[in-house]
Structure formats: structure tokens, C-alpha cells
Amino acid sequence: MKMEDIAKLAGVSKSAVSLAFSGKPGIGPETRERILKIAQENGYLPKSRATITDPSTKSLTFLVFANSGIVLEQYYQQPFFRELIHYIEEQCRSGGYSLIFTSVEMESFEQEIKAVAEEKRSDGVILLGTNLNQAQIAAIAGLLTSPLVVLDTCFETLPIHFVEINNVMGAYQAGSHLCGIGHQNIGYIASNVRIHNFEDRKRGFTAALRENGLEIAEDHVFSVAPTILSSQEALKGQLGAYLDAGHPLPTAFFCECDYIAISAIKTLVELGYRVPEDVSVIGFDNISESVIVSPELTTIHVEKERMARLAVDLLIQSIESDEDVKTKITVDTQFIERLSSRSPVKEAVNPA
């Protein structure tokens, strides 16, 4: 039996079968499971799986808990994660390792992790920690037998390797910029899904405003979905109610991620406001879409390439040495000023 035969039986393309066998993203977990089951039932052994058992083949696993928090099932298509994965793959290749993708569901947390540990498909694991809390990461580390590095979050009290963004610094940079160019009536658009990174960003932004004698008014805080690039009715409703109460629109908004910022720009435009003439908007992450949206987005640049390189290098070092001491690395951010922010001319008024 050939790969083409498996594709016909599963009702998918040959490329989908190849993705299933290699463990790479590009197909959903249900499709992957169906393909692998058909292959097993028909006695087909994928070459990619056979080579994994070859002692001379070195590989790392990129482990993701999908459909939880802001990490969607097709996380590899989300701009931030897409860029991060690209750099991880590059660094793996340069280090002589292949990269295996494993996406598991949070609903079967313990069972899935045990399966990953028992398979021993790779020499070490890079865990995407964006959407995971401290207890979950501790449980995963306790079940895995391979060296582990957690990427994109950090919990200081866990004896685990972490590589994270300096979220506090990035949001502080955004707040300092807005205060520095004269904004005093500042709004905050938060994610309605709370994760470690967003809490740190809120802390950093608040600290910058306090240093400048400002506070975020309670009614200036809005909450939206963090994974939608189009305008959002939820934000439109919140802003509409705020304006109907007779309040002037803040002259600037800080958004906890670029997704929210781009969505906010589109929502504000639909409400009749101009960005940045009437209201400035700042995001966080510097995803590729931030230079496509109009106006181009002022944002916080996250060093995704550096984070990927540090995570891979730290994991390889753990695999090839017997050191027990763990390392926690925080990567600083850079402020990127583009066209979505400017000094306030006057407080924006309701165009209606």
C-alpha cells in the first residue's frame, strides 16, 4: 500500500497524508487521527515515523494545547504563532534537529500528555505556554520524561526552563509614548480571555501612566475577543453605550495585542472616527498584518526570532548536558512608531 492509497481511503489529498505522518501543522487533529488510524489498520508504516526511531535522527517536539484561550485549533495560521514557528524550524535545522508538531486537546489533558511521553518521538519538547497556567505547566512537566522548555510565558517558582517576552516593558513603552506625546484621556482595550502575558501588559501600562500622574478610568476599560481581526459588534456596543452616556471618547487606546488593535481601528472607523486624527491606537506583538492595516499600526515589537533561537538552543543544551539548574530568559521589546498614533489635537467628539 502506498501513500496515495491512504489518501483515497481517508478522502484527503496526498499532501494531507504527508502532514499527518510528519506531525506538521496544516490539518486538523480529527483529520490527522483518521489518517493515522487508516494507515495503522492497513499495516502502512510511514517513513517519517520509521526514521524517528532511528537513533541517528535527532528531533524536537513543538507541543501545543489547542482550542484553549487564545490558541486556536489552527494556531499555525495565527500571525504571531506562525512567525514564531517559522523561526523555531529554522533554528532546529541549523542545530541538526528536525521538528515534530504535536497538537493536543485540553479536554483530554493528562491522557494526551502521557501519550506524548510514552511515544518518545523526540529528544526534547518545546511547550507553547501562551494559554497555560502555572498548575497546568507543572502537571505537564511532571508527566514528560524528556527535557522541556516552555515558550511565551514564565512562572518564576517552577523549576523549568522558560523563555518569555518582557510584557511589562513593552506595555510600559506604549504607555510612556502616549503620555510623552500629550495624551491624558487614555482608554484600554483588554482581551476577554485572560492569560499571564496580558496581566503583565496591564501592569506595565498602568505603571507608565502612574509615573505620569495618570490613571485609567474604570469606564475607559473595554473588553473584546483577542483573535478577531475584523470589527467587533461587542466593542461597538460598549463604545456606543459609553458615548451615549455623554462621555468624550478617549484620545488614545492601548490594546493588549495587535489583533485587538486592528479590530479596534476597524470598529472605530465604522463608528465614524478617524485614526489617528481623532483617536490614536497602539497594539502589541508587531505581527505582519500590522503594516497592512491602514493606517499602519504603532505597536510593540516582540523579538520572535530571538525567542525561538533561545528556546531551541536552551533545549538542545539540556539534551546534550546533565545540568539540573533551570534557566528563565526574558526578552526585551522594542517600541515601533507608525501611523496609528499622534499627539492629540483635541478631545474627540461623538460624530453622530
State the average pLDDT over residues 316-338: 94
Same structural domain for residues 68 and 93?
A: yes
Among candidate residues 11, 33, 55, the one where a domain is terminated: 55
| Count of residues in the chain | 352
- Do 70 and 158 lie in one domain? The reply is yes
Residue 185 lies in a domain: yes
CATH of the domain at 39: 1.10.260.40
Q: What is the DSSP letter of 247?
A: P
Q: Rounded to whole angstroms, how far apart are CA atoms 313 and 163?
A: 11
The domain boundary, picked from 29, 55, 81, lies at: 55
pLDDT given at position 4: 76
3-state helix, strand, coil in the chain (%, to 5): 45, 20, 35
Question: What DSSP assignment string belongs to 122-140?
Answer: SSEEEEE-TT--HHHHHHH
Is the domain of 187 the same as that of 293? Answer: yes
**Do 105 and 231 sit in the same domain of this protein?**
no
pLDDT for the residue 73 = 79
Domain boundary among 34, 55, 76: 55
Q: By percentage, how much of the chain surpasses pLDDT 90?
A: 67
Which residues partner with 248 through β-bridges? Answer: none
Between 175 and 33, the higher pLDDT residue: 175
> What's the confidence (pLDDT) of residue 161?
98
d(CA 235, CA 227): 13
Picking from 226, 217, 224, the residue whose alpha carbon sits closest to that of residue 187 is: 217
State residue 197's pLDDT score.
97
> Taking 80 as the threshold, does the pLDDT of residue 181 lie above it?
yes
What pLDDT score does 18 carry?
Answer: 72
pLDDT exceeds cutoff 60 at 160 = yes
Higher pLDDT, 111 or 191: 191
Residues 295 and 177 in one domain: yes
- Mean pLDDT of the region 183-196: 97
Q: Is residue 257 part of a domain?
A: yes
Task: Classify 339 as helix, strand or coil.
Answer: coil
DSSP letters, 126-190, are EEE-TT--HHHHHHHHHH--S-EEEES---TTSSSEEEEE-HHHHHHHHHHHHHHTT--SEEEEE
Decide if 351 is inside a domain.
no
Whether 338 is in a domain gets the answer no
CA distance 98 to 51: 11
Quote the CA–CA distance of 250 and 232 in Å, as a whole number.
18
- Give 98-108 pLDDT, tens digit per residue: 999 888 877 77
Residue 177 and residue 142 share a domain: no
> Is residue 280, in this structure, part of any structural domain at all?
yes
pLDDT of residue 51: 37
Asked whether residue 114 carries a pLDDT value surpassing 90, the answer given is no
Return all residues near 94 (Cβ < 8 A) that are at least 6 apart: none
Q: What is the pLDDT of residues 22-78, one digit of tens each?
A: 766 667 667 877 888 787 777 665 544 433 444 557 899 999 998 777 898 788 889
Q: Are residues 42 and 96 in the same domain?
A: no
Total of domains in the chain: 3
On whether both 294 and 180 belong to a single domain, the answer is yes
At residue 233, the pLDDT reads 94
Residue 43 is predicted with a pLDDT of 64
Whether pLDDT at 349 is above 70: no
Strand ranges in the chain using DSSP code E only, listed in sequence order:
59-66, 98-105, 124-128, 148-151, 161-165, 186-191, 221-224, 252-255, 280-282, 299-301, 328-331, 334-336
276 and 321 fall within a common domain: no
Q: Specify the pLDDT at position 52.
A: 41
Range of the domain at 288: 167-301
Rounded to 5°, angle at Cα 229 from 228 and 231: 90
Q: Does the pLDDT of residue 302 top 50, yes or no?
A: yes
> Do 126 and 204 fall within a single domain?
no
CA-to-CA distance for 52 and 4, rounded, in angstroms? 22
Residue 221 lies in a domain: yes
Residue 252 has pLDDT above 70, yes or no: yes
Residue 352 lies in a domain: no
pLDDT tens digits, one per residue of 206-242:
999 999 999 999 999 999 999 888 999 999 999 999 9
CATH code for the domain of 108:
3.40.50.2300
> How high is the pLDDT of residue 110?
78
Q: Does residue 346 belong to any structural domain of this protein?
A: no
> Within this chain, do residues 192 and 275 fall inside the same structural domain, yes or no?
yes
Mean pLDDT of 3-26: 74
40 shares a domain with 150: no
Span 179-189, average pLDDT? 98
pLDDT at residue 46 in the model: 55
Q: Check residues 20 and 285 and name the one with the higher pLDDT.
A: 285
